[in-house]
Amino acid sequence: MSFLFFAFIFNFSHASFAYTLKERRSFQHSIIDYRSSLNPGYEKIRRKKTKYIIVHTSELGRKMTLKVVSNGKRLRDGRRTPGGHAHYVIARNGRTYRILDNKYVADHAGLSMWNGETDISQISIGIELVGYHYAPLTQSQYRSVGMLIDILQRIYGLDDRAVLTHSQVAYGNPNRWFRKNQRGRKRCARNFIREKAGLGPTWSYDPDVRAGRLMADPQLSKIFYGRREYYAKTDDANLITQSNTAWSIAGEDYDNQTTVYKFPGGRIYTGDQISDKIGWNRIPAKTVVLLDQEGSISLIKRDDPIKTISDSLTAWSFAGQAYNLKTTIYFLPSGRIKVGSMISDWDDLPAKTKLIVGYRGPYKLDKGRSAYQTAGFKYKDRKTIYYLPPQKLLTGDQINDFKGLPKGTLIFLPNTL
């Protein structure tokens, strides 16, 4: 904590961790050059000035984040963007990727405004942190982003007030919730805790809201300009409640076909279906909202107790904060079985890893112990999970011949206490 002491004495105007030259150099050497993966269709234009550093959360795992920022994403009208959506990507383990040279404009801020200036992409650097705006970022990410910001501040002569999150600068046109232009189009990086990145004091108000250019977003203004402890809260932040509306969770993507609403009963709707089929005021409480679900909706739809990790569905998408509990059990493609407490991060599991959430076990089947003796009358239940070595996972209702289960079969039971 000695950095705080220094910060008080010298009143540093930028990154108060004050990394040494050696630390900054070694960090710079560790940056992975990902520029060759940039979509060749992205037109590189030199940025005329650099006034801000904008922090984002990608709402995806590492693999898909790198793909989307480099190569582009699908827009709501079906067209694709040509990529170039960040200068840097920082993975959960702190590994930092260079997507685009600092000197070029990255297309990262969209419709945005700060202190009266619009089109923030033209005057800023964009850093994408792998993770969700409703889930905690890692210590390694904070260290890397702190170091990167320190380096960029020195290059461009920027103070800590120049570092903002995308959710602070984005704004939206009027919609069903607001009659005027307003903040809240993006929720990106609203969980970014500046102090953890070594950043000092910043704006205590939103200059565009104060000047009457934009309406405030109640939730974001509480997070950024209210009491500081508010924004550490990430529990259940992608669940619909009375105060956590589709708009508070998804921002402008609320009615997008890549936004998925999973109702408590298991029914699934995409954002573009809600208006006709349900109505925006009638989404039940505890509905889970998942963003950026391109091509994975059929996987979410399967209301199977055995979930499968894919490029766009991570362990966090299925388990949320429970990803690292002992009751979340992972079956890796390698054949290994791990419980959540053995996992370093939800983004470290390979695609095709299967998981079950809220289970206890394993209970081993053998001659003296049948499935019925282990699971009771629920032995044929869909929620009773059987692991058949070397790699097969089945639910109780998928098994006909319980006597033919191989040696070493394991049973997992729902953890209903």
Q: How far apart (Å, rounded) are the C-alpha atoms in residues 238 and 10?
A: 41
Nearer Cβ to Zn ion (292/327): 292
**Beta pairing partners, 260:** 270, 290
Give the nearest distance from C-beta 45 to Zn ion in angstroms: 20
Nearer Cβ to Zn ion (123/355): 123
**Beta pairing partners, 225:** none
Binding site for Zn ion (CB under 5 A): 56, 166, 188
Q: How far apart (Å, rounded) are the C-alpha atoms in residues 415 and 417?
A: 6
Distances (CA, A) of 248 to 190, 216, 251: 11, 12, 6
Q: How far apart (Å, rounded) are the C-alpha atoms in residues 287 and 264?
A: 5
CA 374-378-384 angle, to 5 degrees, is: 80
Give the nearest distance from C-beta 333 to Zn ion in angstroms: 32
Nearer Cβ to Zn ion (183/307): 183
Nearer Cβ to Zn ion (109/274): 109
Nearer Cβ to Zn ion (47/85): 85
Give the nearest distance from C-beta 170 to Zn ion in angstroms: 7
Q: How far apart (Å, rounded) are the C-alpha atoms in residues 363 and 368?
A: 12
399 φ/ψ angles, rounded to the nearest 5 degrees: -105, 130
Structure token pair of residue 100: 């685009």
Nearer Cβ to Zn ion (191/384): 191
Give the nearest distance from C-beta 108 to Zn ion in angstroms: 7
Q: How far apart (Å, rounded) are the C-alpha atoms in residues 182 and 275?
A: 22
Give the nearest distance from C-beta 331 to Zn ion in angstroms: 33
Give the nearest distance from C-beta 282 to Zn ion in angstroms: 29
Nearer Cβ to Zn ion (194/354): 194
The pairing of strands 268-270 and 260-262 is: antiparallel
Listed residue (208, 280, 285, 217) closest to 248, CA to CA: 217
The type of residue at 364 is: K
The pairing of strands 354-357 and 328-331 is: antiparallel
Give the nearest distance from C-beta 189 to Zn ion in angstroms: 7
Structure token pair of residue 92: 């959960």
